Structure 1
Amino acid sequence: MLDAPTSLAYDLVLALTEALRTPAGGGAAVAAIALFTMGVRVLLLPLSVMAARGARSRARLAPQVAELRRRHRDDPEALRRELTALYGGAGVSPVAGCLPSLAQAPFFFVTYRLFVSTTIAGHQNLLLGHTLLGAPLGQNLMGVLAGGPFTVPALAFLGLFALLAAVAWVSSRQLARAMSADAPGGPVLRLMPYGTLAVAAFAPLAAGVYLLVSTAWTAGERAVLHRPAPA
Structure 2
Amino acid sequence: MDTFAFPPLTLLLDGAYNALLSLSTLLEPLADTAASAMAVILVTLLVRCALIPVGVSQAKAEQMRARLAPKMRDLQKRLGKDRERLQRETMALYRDEQASPLAGCLPLLVQAAVVGTLYTLFLRPQIAGHANELLTHELFGAPLGTSLLHALGSGGLDLPTGLVWGAVLLIIIVIADITRRAFRPQVPAEGPLASPGMLSLMNGLHYLTAVFATFVPLAAALYLVVTVTWTLVQRALLRRRYPLPV
Distance 2:78 2:147 in 1: 51
Matched, 1:190 2:203: yes
Please tell me whether the aligned partners of residues 11 and 128 of structure 2 are also in contact (alpha carbons under 8 angstroms). no
Amino acid of the structure 2 residue aligned with 1:18: T
Task: State the partner residue of 1:209.
Answer: 222
Distance 1:86 1:16 in 2: 48
Distance 2:156 2:12 in 1: 36
Task: State the partner residue of 2:37.
Answer: 30
Gaps of 5+ in 1: none
Distance 1:211 1:98 in 2: 17
Distance 2:201 2:82 in 1: 24
Distance 1:32 1:115 in 2: 13
Change (3 A) 1:154 1:210: same
Gaps of 5+ in 2: none
Amino acid of the structure 1 residue aligned with 2:74: E
**Alpha-carbon offset, residue 21 of structure 1:** 1.1
Distance 2:199 2:52 in 1: 26
Task: State the partner residue of 2:166.
Answer: 158
TM-score normalised to structure 2 length: 0.83
Distance 1:179 1:60 in 2: 11
Matched, 1:92 2:105: no
Q: Report SS of the residue matched to 2:209.
A: helix
Partner of residue 70 from structure 2, selected from 63, 67, 91: 63
Please tell me whether the aligned partners of residues 171 and 225 of structure 2 are also in contact (alpha carbons under 8 angstroms). yes
Matched, 1:43 2:56: no
**Alpha-carbon offset, residue 186 of structure 1:** 5.5
Matched, 1:129 2:142: no
Partner of residue 171 from structure 1, selected from 173, 179, 200: 179
Percent identity for Structure 1 against Structure 2: 37
Q: Deviations over 1:48-85 (max 9, x none)?
A: 22222212222222221222222233333332222111
Q: Deviations over 1:10-38 (max 9, x none)?
A: 12211221111122222211111000111
Task: State the partner residue of 1:138.
Answer: 145
Please tell me whether the aligned partners of residues 33 and 206 of structure 1 are also in contact (alpha carbons under 8 angstroms). yes
Q: Report SS of the residue matched to 1:47.
A: helix
**Alpha-carbon offset, residue 187 of structure 1:** 4.7
Amino acid of the structure 2 residue aligned with 1:203: V
**Alpha-carbon offset, residue 192 of structure 1:** 2.3
Distance 1:32 1:150 in 2: 24
Distance 1:8 1:134 in 2: 27
Change (3 A) 1:155 1:107: same
Distance 2:144 2:188 in 1: 41
